[in-house]
Amino acid sequence: MGSNQTDHISSLRGLWLITKVQLLTSFGINQLKYEKNRKKRGRYIGYLLGITILMCTLIGYSGTIGFGLGFTGMADVIPSFALTITGIVTLMFTMLKSSVMLFGFRDYDMLMSLPVQNRMVITSKFICMYVINLLFTFGIMIPMGITYAIFVPEFNGLTILLWVFGMLIGPFIPMTIATMLGAIIAAVSSRFKHKNLLSIILSYVAIVGIMIYTFYANSTEKSDAAFLADVSRLSGNISAKINAIYPPARFFERSICDNQILPMLLLIVISIVWFLLFINIVAIKYNRINTRIISQNTKTKYRMQELKTSSPLIALYKKEAARFFSSVGYVINCGMGIIMALILSIISVVNGPEGMLSMFADVKTTGLNGIMSGITCAIPFFLSAVISMTCTSAVSLSLEGKSLWIIKSLPIKTEKILQSKILFNLSLGIPASIICGSLLIASFQPKSFFEGIWFLLTPIVFSFFSSIFGMLINTKLPIYDWENEITVIKQSGSSMFGIFGGMLIGIIISFIVMVLGFAGFAEIAAGGMTILVAAITIIIYKIVMRQAI
Partner 1 sequence: MRDLCGGIVMIKIENFSKQYGTGKKAVDSLTLEIEAGDIYGFIGHNGAGKTTTIKAIAGVLDFEEGKILIDGHSIKDEPVVCKQMMAYIPDNPDLYEHLTGIQYLNFIGDIFDVEKKERAERIRHYGDLFDITDSFGDLISSYSHGMKQKLALISAFIHKPKVLLLDEPFVGLDPKASLDLKKLMYEICEEGGSIFFSTHVLEVAEKLCNKIAIIKEGRLMASGDMETVIQKHSLEEVFMEVIENGQ
Would you tell me which residues interact with partner 1 (CB under 8 A)?
36-38, 295-299, 301-302, 304, 306-312, 314-316, 318-319, 322-323, 326-327, 401-403, 405-406, 408-413, 548
- In the complex, minimum distance from the CB of residue 482 to partner 1, in angstroms, rounded to a whole number: 12
- Shortest distance in whole angstroms from residue 204 CB to partner 1: 20
* Cα 105 from chain centroid (whole Å): 19
Cβ distance to partner 1 smaller for residue 406 or 442: 406
- Using the minimum distance from each CB to partner 1, give the nearer residue, 40 or 233: 40
DSSP element (H, E) containing 458: helix 449-476
Nearest CB to partner 1, comparing residues 115 and 411: 411
Minimum CB distance to partner 1, residue 18 (Å): 24
Minimum distance from residue 403 beta carbon to partner 1 (Å)? 5
Cα(224)–Cα(351) distance, integer angstroms: 17
User: What crossing angle do the helices spanning 250-258 and 261-294 adopt, rounded to 10°?
Assistant: 150
**Judging by beta carbons within 10 Å of its beta carbon (0-12, 13-18, 19+), is residue 54 exposed, middle or buried?**
middle
In eight-state DSSP terms, residue 251 is H
Which C-beta is closer to partner 1: that of 312 or that of 355?
312
Tell the smallest beta-carbon distance from residue 483 to partner 1 (Å). Answer: 13
* CB of 3 or CB of 308, closer to partner 1: 308
Q: Which is nearer to partner 1, 250 or 323 (CB)?
A: 323
Residue closer to partner 1 by CB (options 305, 448) is 305
Please list the alpha-helical segments (H only) found in 358-371: 363-366
- Integer Cα distance of 338 and 433 in angstroms: 8
- Give 299 or 546: the residue with its C-beta nearer to partner 1: 299
- Distance from C-alpha of 60 to C-alpha of 67, rounded to nearest angstrom: 10
Q: What is the DSSP string of 29-57?
A: HHHHHH---HHHHHHHHHHHHHHHHHHHH
Least distance from partner 1 to the Cβ atom of residue 305, Å: 8
Nearer to partner 1, 524 or 549 (CB): 549
| 69 closest CA partner among 50, 59, 82 | 82
Please state the closest distance from residue 318 (CB atom) to partner 1, in A: 7
DSSP state of 307: P
Nearest distance from C-beta of residue 405 to partner 1, angstroms: 5
Nearer to partner 1, 299 or 449 (CB): 299
Q: How far is the CB of 406 from partner 1 (least distance, A)?
A: 7
Least gap, CB of 5 to partner 1 (angstroms): 42
At residue 388's C-alpha, the angle toward residues 386 and 394, to 5°, is: 140
274-296 b/e with 16+ CB inside 10 Å = b?
bbeebbeebbeebeebbebbeee
CA distance 167 to 142: 8
Give whichever of 342 and 404 is closer to partner 1, judged by the CB atom. 404
Dihedral of CA atoms 538, 543, 544, 549 in degrees, nearest 10, equals: 170
Q: Is 479 left (phi over 0), alpha (psi -120 to 50) or beta?
A: beta
d(CA 200, CA 430): 21
Q: Minimal distance in Å, beta carbon 466 to partner 1? A: 24
| Residue closest to 111 by CA, chosen among 484, 540, 495 | 484
Write the single-letter amino acid at 309: T
* Residues 438, 88: Cα–Cα separation, whole Å: 30
